[in-house]
Amino acid sequence: MNITLAAKTRLPTPYGLFHLYGFVEEGGQEHLAMVMGDIAGDAPVLARVHSECLTGDALFSMRCDCGPQLEAAMHKIGEAGQGVIVYLRQEGRGIGLINKLRAYAEQDEGADTVEANEKLGFPADARDYSVAVAILAALGVKRVRLMTNNPRKLQALEACGVEISERVAHRVGASAENEKYLATKASRLGHLITD
């Protein structure tokens, strides 16, 4: 996966000062990396690979746990004083924003998140983590302590060459509104969100 660093700037946040990197992949898709502290080298780096969720991250939707996961990752990195969030622009598990809204409509009619994607002709999860691997490599990150509940993400990153020294449980944002969503992630996609 070829990527280009297109921009770098400061990003002051309530959790501390991050450096924001803008990357562009071959097809023109843009992605971000939020970096705090010195992350290059052999020591494991606290990291999150987060797929864009406009409705959860920016519009505070309670249908999912995406916004709280992003905020919790920023908080944990701020407390540690070091870490990276790779923010991938692959909305709706890779199906895009409008199709995600269509999937929401299917869920309103009773489908779970996996069934909704499949009814629209998509796989349950169409995300590709190879660009995250390229971004981590460009930043000099060799080993990560990955904040995730998704074993498929762990497997995909390891298969692409990322050394994961630890999985850091990342369970946040449960509510009555997303109870079925979280249960589906656990039962249908294998997410590690229950004890």
* Residues taking part in catalysis: 125, 127
Q: How far apart are CA 165 and CA 122, in angstroms?
A: 32
160 is in an annotated binding site: no
66 is in an annotated binding site: yes
194 is in an annotated binding site: no
Q: How far apart are CA 69 and CA 74, in angstroms?
A: 9
153 is in an annotated binding site: yes
93 is in an annotated binding site: yes
92 is in an annotated binding site: yes
Q: CB–CB of 57/70 below 8 Å? A: yes
61 is in an annotated binding site: no
Q: CB–CB of 120/99 below 8 Å? A: yes
Three-state SS for 174?
coil
Q: How far apart are CA 158 and CA 81, in angstroms?
A: 25
- What are the backbone angles phi and psi of residue 22, rounded to the nearest 5°? -110, 120
Residue ranges at the known binding site for Zn(2+): 53, 64, 66
Residue ranges at the known binding site for GTP: 48-52, 69, 91-93, 113, 148, 153
Residue ranges at the known binding site: 48-53, 64, 66, 69, 91-93, 113, 148, 153
